[in-house]
Amino acid sequence: MTVIRLAVLLVALTAAAPLPAETRPPVSQSEISLSFAPVVKAAAPAVVNIYATRVVESRISPFAGDPFFDRLFRDFGATRPEVQNSLGSGVIVSADGLVVSNYHVVDAATEITVVLQDRREYRAEVILADKVNDLAVLRLDGADRLPVLPFRDSDGVEVGDLVLAIGNPFGIGQTVSMGIISALARSSISVGDGHGYFLQTDAAINPGNSGGALVDAAGQLVGINTAILTQSGGSNGVGFAIPSNLVRAVVAQAQAGATRFQRPWAGVSGQGVDGGMAESLGLPVPEGVIFSELHPESPFATAGLRPGDVVVRLDGVPVNSPAEMIFRMSARGVGATLEVDYLRDGAPQVASVSLIAPPDTPARDTRRIGAGSALAGLQIARINPAVIAEYDLPLQAEGVVVTGAEDWAAQAGLRVGDVLLAINGARVMTPDDTERAATERSRNWAIDLIRQGQPLRLRFRI
């Protein structure tokens, strides 16, 4: 009986054992080689080279080349115009000649030439510029029926997805490099005027690739290549791309006639929840963005949120930094409604937030102080939510902000973005107050203000 059982067990184990791998020669071309040539053939014609010319003022010093005086008088002398050329890449996003690229590729350009893969050339002009997101939309003069690169939903991109970077590195001509998506939600690097939100890739990206396409294996646009992390000036396997969902929102506004990208206004201050904060809040894991301040007119305040609330998801997508929040809002656009999941005292809550532009009320009442004043050349405006957003002021700023400083105002040390508090001891809360105080007759002047969050007093004598 025992022998029979052992025999049965041996047969069962033998049947369950894996079969040896089959070895045979490849029988088709697809099994012999893997090629991305069909993807490149479909996508590459929609990626262009951009040549931008700009004129800058360079200073001429009579002491140039002198080993001693050149260092002492490096800022001395007149200026002369100097022509600079830059190169980059772009992506055709509409058949009638709309091209999206990086803002830094075409910034201050006086002449822009766009060259297609088939060597056709077009003059181009910038129709929308967004320095904050480092994006620009160009229109090609006289273009029609051009190849277009379709957008992919960048929220569907995952780490490990295969991608191709197409651009014009070092100006050597259109080049394709392959890699994968290395990380999502990178928001710790600075591009443009602030911290953005990027896809990270190990596909080789070099100078000249800026503004080029990052496409998936189906030839769809997942991002615009914008930056590299490097110490040598070349690709070290860490490149960053602006996600296609934000690019699509910028292009849509350009097609609607906008010249500047209108991003929704959050009207909040906050920070990502770290490990120590999560422990003090009683959260099982660090997640979300905790609000510290809300402007009274913030759409989040209108929806019922308040300081101390932790936003964990927008439209079901996790957010863990202020940059991620701004990205999600910008991709949806003004007029959309977001479903916000947040925690209050550890309890889950849900709210609907209507995305709005920063209110430009009360009226900013822009003024300029004329000649005859010690502050001649000073331009001011009343602070409101739109002004706060435009000049990146503290959320609770109020009163009057400097919007321009020339002539005597510049010599006095005033700068754009200064929030005025008092002039010669007189409190200023409105443009009328400022104009009245600035036209007083006095030889000794003292101006109290807030600059980049710090109190400051300027003193001078005339």
Catalytic site residues?
Answer: 104, 134, 210
The amino acid present at 454, given as its one-letter code, is: Q
Mind spelling out the 3-state secondary structure of 130-194?
A: ECCCCEEEEEECCCCCCCCCCECCHHHCCCCCEEEEEECHHHCCCEEEEEEEEEEEECCCEECCE
Torsion of CA 68, 71, 75, 80, to 10 degrees: 70
Which are the contacts of 278, defined by CB distance < 8 A and separation ≥ 6? 284, 285, 286, 287
The amino acid present at 3, given as its one-letter code, is: V
What are 410's two structure tokens? 């510049």
What are 53's two structure tokens? 């010319």
Q: Closest by alpha carbon to 189, among 249, 239, 261, 234? A: 239
- Three-class DSSP category at 260: strand
Cis-peptide into 362, omega within 30 deg: yes
Determine the Cα–Cα distance for residues 439 and 157; give it in Å rounded to an integer: 60
Span between the terminal Cα atoms of the chain, in Å = 117
Query: What's the Cα-to-Cα distance from 379 to each of 53, 368, 388, 401, 411, rounded to whole Å?
Result: 32, 4, 16, 9, 14
Q: Closest by alpha carbon to 183, among 220, 229, 238, 245? A: 238
Contact of 426 with 435, CB cutoff 8 Å: no
Contact of 178 with 112, CB cutoff 8 Å: no
Determine the Cα–Cα distance for residues 321 and 441; give it in Å rounded to an integer: 50
Q: Closest by alpha carbon to 338, among 135, 184, 324, 347? A: 324
Element (H, E) at 366: none
Tokens 């550890």 belong to residue:
346
Tokens 């190990």 belong to residue:
202
Contact of 222 with 243, CB cutoff 8 Å: yes
Question: Alpha helix locations (H) across 322-383?
Answer: 322-332
Determine the Cα–Cα distance for residues 298 and 358; give it in Å rounded to an integer: 8
Element (H, E) at 228: strand 221-228
